[in-house]
Structure 1
Amino acid sequence: MVSALQNLVDSLGHTLQRSIAVDDAEIRLIVYSSHYGDEDRARTQSLVERRVTGRMLEYLTGHGIKSWREPKYMDGDETLGLKRRLVLPLWSRHQLLGYVWIIAETDLNPEEMAASIETSTHIADVLSQLAEHERQEERQRETLARSLVAEDIDSRDNASRKLNGLGLFTKTRYFTAVLIVPAQGSPSSPSQAEPFSRDEVNRVMAPRLRETYLFAPVSDGALVVLGSEKVLRQAAAEAMARDIQKQVSLLRGSEGGNAWVIGVGAPANGLGSVHISFRQAVAAAKTAKAEGLGVGVWSSLGPATLLAALHVEKLDVDIVPEELRRLSTAYSPETLRLVEVFLDTAGSAARTAEVLHMHRTTVYYQLGQFQQSSGLKLDDGSTRFLLHLWFKIQRLTTLWQ
């Protein structure tokens, strides 16, 4: 089909004796004609970079071309190295498919305009067929992505074989599951957020090549299976997750930063182990929600990974020790936070004071008051473990009930 597009563009370029290019709806180059002596700096640059960015993109979109339905001339801009052009928007019935750009320092005559419109109609037909073919491939890949993380081993094995048969990930050894979910809601009580579309995820994952990842909408979020030749290290995983969170927040209009949570599993060696990375990503997202974080990377969660692996979604509160059950009613959230941070920092009053921006003397005093009134001795290893475990499990189970 690409060759059909090329033939159409070459034929029209020869007829008009003008340079022509065809872009997709995101103004990324698809095909272009030979030069006819009218080429400008903007054209040369787009042929090299294959897409339009920066000031040039702002200039083009600033004319409202995404809403154009009829051919229009667009003035050039000397500072951008852009000559005047005729722009023919390409539409299917309901979707913008792209644009035909014809360098036009002078107007086309009626016969040339008619030929350009006729050719652009044929180009739109081909692009529509290409888009439908791509949608079918994407749907197949989404199905395979979900099958890769299914509980049924036969489904996972079948998906692995099909992906290998499609020639995807031929040079990829490691696979990391990334889960994008709203900060509000849970699997048992989902939020009302709309599932992600392919286009949204493609924008979020840019500039990564689409051949390096699979995508599937899940519940009210998205699953991305990212392939790589080398193991994705913890620092790189955290940086990637924060970048994805930023892009998702901007895309969905949530600039606050933590409206979305990103869970990242550990790299899996081979497609057959992606389901493990996925379960880790789910647990990482769950833990990040519980801790009020925007990003949860499995390899950096420490002891929380063990708690998440327990799948504790309900506690029999009646048999929890009385001294633990009464904490939430007997003490203020600030006091309980102080004790938890003290335990998080391995019993360091100095680090606790630093984290909570308190004077060290105040930390010692309040901890002493807590021990005296609760009967829980923070210098006893078993008591510390019991109390610390209670704080973490309570938060997780409260979130998922």
Structure 2
Amino acid sequence: MRSVKGDYQDLVDEISALLGAPATLEDRDFRLIAFGAHDSGSGFDETTLDPVRTRSILTRRSTAEVRAWFEKFGIATAESPVHIPADPAAGVLRGRLCLPVRHRGTVHGYVWLLAGSDGPPAPVPAPAMAACARIGALLADEARARADLGPYLLTLLAPESAESRASARASLGEALGGGGPYALLCAAPWAQPVPGVRTVPGAAALCLLPVPGPAGPRLAALIRIRTRSDLSPAHLAAGGLLAAAGPVVGIGNPVHAPDELPGAWREASAAARAALARPRLGPVAQWSEIGPYRLLAALPDSGPGHPVDPAVRPLLEPAHAELARTAEVFLDCAGQAGRTASTLSIHRQTLYYRLSRVEQLTGLDLHDGEDRLLLHMSLKAARL
């Protein structure tokens, strides 16, 4: 049985022959799928391999900067061939002809051809565009085959047996291939049906975890990103989730392999809990930016069994909410009375009175570093 990759190669070779120029095929995330060989009779030689094309072939993907440069010409929404001029400063030594690979109104990839000259390109023959349409149908079929990866992701993130998780990890890894890195998102609480993969930009898999507690249930979204340092696709997907249901969204650190996803899920869930506890951190919160909540979120979700230090418990009663807030702001301000009074818009004497009441209620000494640490962490944990 012939592989789908073989079909892609045949179609790319067909387009190269029809247009008399070497062609490459990339998906919409600029990952290389196939490329046509150079024909010595076509007028192209090694000197036509500019740095951008060489890198694409050798690494099988383009950089985020290259992608952004080409996308500014409107290729992501184009319905017809797009001519892109040469730009030596960007490493593009020859112009390009981009043939959008579409299926039912959606761009699934691009066929790239090096222009033979700097003049306007010749019209693209209908058979070449028909080949692009066949490529689009193949890519769409592959996308549909990948669309139902949610059950594998759910098994991998939920407390299933080790055997079930191992099977899900293998299936998910096979379906995703070498397409990392990825970011895992946690939208919480999520009371809507699980959206379709196509409705969330860059989503590879979606699933709903019925997690108990104030931040559950939670939607997990596995998002394709370009590089570990560029989380813009994850933020784009988070924006779509916020618009759909208005939750907070936590983003874990990027990962490459399925076996890293449980750790990324803990991070994403922690970031979502932190955004619920401290709205200033949200509505989209990255785990790397939630400060002390990275540690505190390792505690169980708050509830009847949530641990509270006995010394701090009286301060957390509703009747003492203003004293608890005063103590938290004081500790957030590193114990600086002037900053604290200014933040709370109160007189210093009022501040000193409230702090003395905090010490009376808790038995803690706010001049003692360890007592201050215990109080500070207890107040932050109570928010979760």
CA distance in 2, matches of 1:194, 1:123: 32
* 1:210-266 deviation per Cα after TM superposition (whole angstroms, max 9, x unaligned): xxxx8434467534599xxxxxxxxxxxxx8x975x654456569xxxx9542659x
For 2:54, the equivalent position in structure 1 comes to 44
Q: 1:129 aligns with which of 121, 124, 138?
A: 138
Structure 1 runs not aligned, ≥5 long: 170-175, 204-213, 227-239, 315-319, 397-401
Q: 1:216 aligns with which of 189, 206, 209?
A: 206
Check whether the contact 2:287–2:294 (CA below 8 A) recurs between aligned residues. no
CA distance in 2, matches of 1:384, 1:201: 45
CA distance in 1, matches of 2:11, 2:341: 72
Q: CA deviation at 1:72?
A: 5.0
CA distance in 2, matches of 1:326, 1:199: 46
Q: CA deviation at 1:301?
A: 4.2
Establish whether residue 160 from structure 1 lines up as the match of residue 166 from structure 2. yes
For 2:179, the equivalent position in structure 1 comes to none
For 1:339, give the aligned amino acid.
A
Check whether the contact 1:288–1:296 (CA below 8 A) recurs between aligned residues. no
TM-score, reference length from structure 2: 0.61
Check whether the contact 2:82–2:97 (CA below 8 A) recurs between aligned residues. yes
For 2:76, the equivalent position in structure 1 comes to 66
5 Å-filtered alignment, 1:239-388, equals 244=231, 248-249=234-235, 261-262=249-250, 278=265, 282=269, 285-292=272-279, 293=281, 294-296=285-287, 301=293, 304-305=296-297, 308-312=300-304, 324-328=317-321, 331=322, 336-341=324-329, 351-353=334-336, 356=339, 365-366=349-350, 368-370=352-354, 376-380=360-364
Q: CA deviation at 1:313?
A: 9.3
Check whether the contact 2:315–2:362 (CA below 8 A) recurs between aligned residues. no
For 2:12, the equivalent position in structure 1 comes to 9
CA distance in 2, matches of 1:56, 1:275: 32
Structure 2 runs not aligned, ≥5 long: 176-181, 209-216, 241-246, 307-312, 366-370
Check whether the contact 2:273–2:297 (CA below 8 A) recurs between aligned residues. no
Establish whether residue 96 from structure 1 lines up as the match of residue 107 from structure 2. yes
Q: CA deviation at 1:143?
A: 1.0
Q: CA deviation at 1:290?
A: 0.9
Q: CA deviation at 1:144?
A: 0.9
For 1:100, give the aligned amino acid.
V
Q: CA deviation at 1:353?
A: 0.9
Worse-matched range after superposition: 305-314 or 20-29: 305-314
Check whether the contact 1:196–1:217 (CA below 8 A) recurs between aligned residues. no
CA distance in 1, matches of 2:297, 2:379: 15
* 1:308-351 deviation per Cα after TM superposition (whole angstroms, max 9, x unaligned): 3453499xxxxx969933223xx4xxx54331255x58xxxx93
CA distance in 1, matches of 2:30, 2:267: 38
Identical aligned pairs, as a percentage? 22
Q: CA deviation at 1:145?
A: 1.0
The secondary structure found in structure 1 opposite 2:104 is: coil
For 2:141, give the aligned amino acid.
E
Check whether the contact 1:71–1:86 (CA below 8 A) recurs between aligned residues. yes
Check whether the contact 2:185–2:234 (CA below 8 A) recurs between aligned residues. no
CA RMSD of aligned residues (A): 5.2
The secondary structure found in structure 2 opposite 1:326 is: helix
Q: CA deviation at 1:165?
A: 6.0
The secondary structure found in structure 2 opposite 1:67 is: coil
Q: Cα–Cα, structure 1 residues 356 and 247, in superposed 2: closer, same or farther, change >3 Å?
A: farther
Check whether the contact 1:27–1:51 (CA below 8 A) recurs between aligned residues. yes
Q: 2:33 aligns with which of 27, 30, 55?
A: 30
TM-score, reference length from structure 1: 0.59
The alignment of Structure 1 onto Structure 2 pairs a total of residues equal to 327
Q: CA deviation at 1:6?
A: 1.6
* 1:12-32 deviation per Cα after TM superposition (whole angstroms, max 9, x unaligned): 434544222222234443222
For 2:127, give the aligned amino acid.
E
For 1:216, give the aligned amino acid.
L
For 1:9, give the aligned amino acid.
V
Q: 1:147 aligns with which of 152, 155, 165?
A: 155
Check whether the contact 1:371–1:377 (CA below 8 A) recurs between aligned residues. no
* 1:279-317 deviation per Cα after TM superposition (whole angstroms, max 9, x unaligned): 675355324421343345799648735753453499xxx
Check whether the contact 1:195–1:220 (CA below 8 A) recurs between aligned residues. no
Q: Cα–Cα, structure 1 residues 126 and 202, in superposed 2: closer, same or farther, change >3 Å?
A: same
The secondary structure found in structure 2 opposite 1:66 is: coil
